[in-house]
Amino acid sequence: MDQELNKTLQKLFAGKATQEEIDQINDWYHRDDDHFDLEIEDHFGRSRSQVKQSLFHQIKVEILPTSTLSKFIRIGLPSLAAMVVIGLLVLMVNITGVEKDSSEVIPFELGASFSNDQGMIKSILLPDGSKVYLHHYTTLEVSKNFTHNRKVKLSGKAYFDVASDPNHPFVITTASMNTIVMGTSFSISAYLDSIESVRVKSGLVEVITTNKEVHRLRVNEGLNYQLGTADLMSGFNSEFEFAWIDQTLVFDQSPLPELIKALENWYGVSIECNHFPKRKLSGTFKELSLEELLTAIQYTIPLKFEIYDQKVKIQFIN
């Protein structure tokens, strides 16, 4: 990175940049230089510029007057997943300011917002080294000065692999819960007007609900929370719960309407069916194109299909 630009970024992070310097950063941020390349492949066969336009439409970056966010330097999209690297500049820039005591409650102040629609799984690398995978129709808001104030807000479903930092707890706020960890891996589902749930893959997770109940969950334990009631569970199908982060679809006696909806979200397509036979499907499908997956399903459920770009027609036979 250009040294002058790096110095200007340091001033911006410290809140000391002039308007002219802020304009300089904005020009740099929006410039489409060749050396900030997007290396993209996807199952729609879209061009680099088409995918770039799609990704930047879905990745929403909000810049406050006294803050800045890192530039998306490189985004890779192997198969169905997209990697969004954020906070890269935060790691390279020494942010000035006095470190607050870790016991002090620091209010949430928005630093960045990331959203995901259908058709891909986004992976976000946070400045502390934590990684977050966003499921379909999910929004993640990251606090300003995240390195010292590890707070995020979640709407939707996400998997967290949190870097250990005993001095700075990692807090995920959803509509009905605060989930607090030091360093662990787990998933949270918190779609609007749905049951909120937590599933722990490793480590220890503390969940505080809106009615002030505190629950501590360990490996292979989970919690469902709705209307003020928490249901604890010991043991769950981890393959089914976490498969999606490895680009794997798992169905366990899934009715066809449920299966079709999952395929629409996973591949970012619209599927039209002639009818739904009373059949159910179980199976694990890893890194398959839609055509490959439908071909595999044909061995279990008789069907014909046609794929037209993002529209699919399926005819179930009998």
* pLDDT tens per residue across span 96-146: 222 323 233 445 677 788 998 888 888 999 989 999 999 999 999 999 888
Contact status, residue 177 vs residue 186, Cβ threshold 8 Å = no
Look at 45-49, 180-184, 243-247 and tell me which has the smallest mean pLDDT. Answer: 45-49
The pTM of the full predicted model, rounded to 2 decimals, is: 0.66
Choices 3.30.70.1280, 3.40.50.620, 2.60.120.1440, 1.10.390.10: CATH for 32-238: 2.60.120.1440
Contact status, residue 268 vs residue 275, Cβ threshold 8 Å = no
Q: Is the pLDDT of residue 318 over 80?
A: no
Q: What is the pLDDT of residue 3?
A: 59
Residue 197 CB neighbour total at 10 angstroms: 22
pLDDT tens digits along 5-54? 656 655 555 556 677 776 776 666 555 443 333 233 333 444 444 444 44
Strands 229-234, 221-226: pairing is antiparallel
Please tell me the class of the 247-316 domain: alpha beta
Rounded mean pLDDT, 183-192: 94
Contact status, residue 267 vs residue 245, Cβ threshold 8 Å = no
Q: What is the pLDDT of residue 7?
A: 65
Contact status, residue 113 vs residue 263, Cβ threshold 8 Å = no
- Say which amino acid occupies 133: Y
Look at 162-171, 233-242, 259-268 and tell me which has the smallest mean pLDDT. Answer: 233-242
**DSSP assignment string, 26-42:** HHHHH---TTS--EE--
Contact status, residue 294 vs residue 269, Cβ threshold 8 Å = no
Domain boundaries, the chain: 32-238, 247-316
List CB contacts of 242: < 8 A, sequence separation 6 or more: 159, 187, 199, 201
Identify which of 210, 196, 103 has the alpha carbon closest to the alpha carbon of residue 154: 196
